[in-house]
Amino acid sequence: MKNTRLIKILRTLDPKELEQFEAYLKSPLYKVQAKQLKLFICLKKYHPAYEKLETQDIIQKLATPQDPQLATLRFELKKHLNHFLILLSLAEAPDHQNWLLTRALRKRKLDQDFEKAITKQQKALNQNLCKSDDYYLNKFRLEYEVANYQITQNKGKNLKANLDTAFYYFQYYTFIQKAKILIQKFHYQNIKNPDINFSDLDLLLNSVSQEQLEDQAIVHIYHTLLKMLYDINDKNHFLKLERLLSQHTHQLSKEELITIYRILTNYCTNKINDGQVEFVLKRIEFCEAVIEATKQNQWMPYMDLKIIVTLCLRADKFEEAINYNEKYITRVDPKIRHEIYHCNLAAISLYQRNYDETIKNLIEVRCSYHKFSQNRKFVIGNEIVLLKCYYEKEEGNNFNTFIDNIRKQIRNCKTLQSQEKQSYMSFLSFIRNLYKFKIGVSTKSLPLLINKIQLTQPNIDQEWLLKKAKEIKK
């Protein structure tokens, strides 16, 4: 029973929603049968994991001797749960509720009430600073309702104008929706080799005129973002997007703004990897923008702080790295705050070549690796930092032991993709070969190894490896 659709949906409910669903089932409005409510009460005790749930226990508690009867109860309870989810979604979408109301008023020919509702909703939409896809969808719905109302009232004087306006809004809505899908494809795939039908992309980009772009700032932002990702080598799109964002940030929702900043962060990373170091400071700027945009959240993602500290270090801005760590550490979940703080201090010490301090800080983190069981990359990353310290200090026993331990962790890690595992393994192979050159026991060719490091992809820390190879070459 624990693998049924009913249980899978119930698992997604948080404690508050679970209580609300119980109140829904007890309401006389929805005519829930007593046995359906009793089934829910029995299931509720196993929430949220439902791991110990057994079908026979439920049958006994319900006094239902036959399984088909239980299957019917499950089916009926799932129908109520689906309806409850619809009500939850409606509660979170007041604009959608208002549109349903205006449509109902028009169909019932309550003209005065309809006109008042339309006027009120149009005024509220015009006062809304956020003008993204939901805004355009709601504008379309209202204009379309007005056009339908004019038809029934034989007030066709402005009908064509209203219909044209309605479909312009719908065009903007669909453009942004399509743009978001394509942007996610660019974002989550290899940015230089995306699996995208470029004819569809060109069609979308050409579907809005320059006049429309100048008139609709949010459409213009998404249009420029698509062009930036499509034509990644043309910096003008990036610079234009920066200008548009600085002028129209207030028109984007917080979620959209965070997504765009994260995409820009990845764009800058790509440029940095291509040797364009001027994008380092830009990436720091976008990382901080993400942190600031999420300041209303209870806790910030700890990787956001780790990334911005690392970026400052790569730009040789040690003071800024320390300041960011101090400034934002209180925004990290207290359960892992101590570990993240010392992890960042370790990174700073490593860049300052203070290896003993790095090891000291990472020992503070190693004791609490169990807290990061869902993020093995974080754990492996810290182990690699320790490995770098033993490389620099030429502590051969610790160095070799750590390589073997890290390899074992990588092989046993079920959450790493095969490409990620290969990237880590390549790094470990290269650092071991470099170490042999460093202590003077390698008989191989260093230029050949350097060439192999340069050509191997993926490679998790190619820049550091090449830096160390250059130090040996001297």
Residue 67 has pLDDT above 70, yes or no: no
pLDDT bucket at 155, cuts 50 / 70 / 90: low
pLDDT bucket at 71, cuts 50 / 70 / 90: confident
Q: What is the pLDDT of residue 191?
A: 47
SS (H, E, C) 421-462: HHHHHHHHHHHHHHHHHHCCCCCCCHHHHHHHHHHCCCCCCH
Span 119-143, mean pLDDT?
A: 90
Distance CA 218, CA 224 (A): 10
Are the C-beta atoms of 65 and 58 separated by less than 8 Å?
no
pLDDT bucket at 65, cuts 50 / 70 / 90: low
Q: Among 398, 438, 460, which residue's Cα sits nearest to residue 449?
A: 438
Residue-wise DSSP of 248-292: HGGGS-HHHHHHHHHHHHHHHHHHHHTT-TTHHHHHHHHHHHHHH
Span 339-364, mean pLDDT?
A: 94
Distance CA 281, CA 56 (A): 62
Q: Among 162, 160, 168, 126, which residue's Cα sits nearest to residue 145?
A: 162
Contacts of 273 (CB under 8 A, 6+ apart): none
Are the C-beta atoms of 231 and 202 separated by less than 8 Å?
no
Residue 373 has pLDDT above 80, yes or no: yes
Are the C-beta atoms of 311 and 273 separated by less than 8 Å?
no
Residue 461 has pLDDT above 90, yes or no: no
Q: Give the pair of three-digit tokens for residue 309.
A: 């500290």
Residue 333 — φ and ψ, nearest 5°? -50, 125
Q: Please state the domain extents for the chain.
A: 5-91
Position of tokens 């192999």? 452
Span 150-178, mean pLDDT?
A: 85
Q: What is the pLDDT of residue 63?
A: 67
Q: What is the pLDDT of residue 192?
A: 47
Peptide bond preceding 48: is omega within 30 degrees of 0, i.e. cis? yes
Q: What is the pLDDT of residue 2?
A: 78
pLDDT bucket at 131, cuts 50 / 70 / 90: confident
User: Residue 66 gets which letter from DSSP?
Assistant: -
pLDDT bucket at 450, cuts 50 / 70 / 90: very high
Q: What is the CA radius of gyration of the chain?
A: 29
Query: Which residue type is seen at 123?
Result: K
Distance CA 217, CA 131 (A): 9
Task: List pLDDT tens digits, range 214-267.
Answer: 999 999 999 999 999 888 889 999 999 999 999 999 999 888 999 999 999 889
Cβ atoms < 10 Å from Cβ of 381: 16
Q: Which long-range contacts (CB under 8 A, 24 or more apart) does 101-106 make?
A: 102/142, 102/145, 103/145, 106/145, 106/148, 106/149, 106/152
Span 80-95, mean pLDDT?
A: 93
Angle, CA of 349, 355 and 360, to the nearest 5°:
80
User: Residue 157 gets which letter from DSSP?
Assistant: G
pLDDT bucket at 459, cuts 50 / 70 / 90: confident
Are the C-beta atoms of 450 and 466 separated by less than 8 Å?
yes
Residue 454 has pLDDT above 60, yes or no: yes
Q: What is the pLDDT of residue 211?
A: 94
Distance CA 119, CA 121 (A): 6
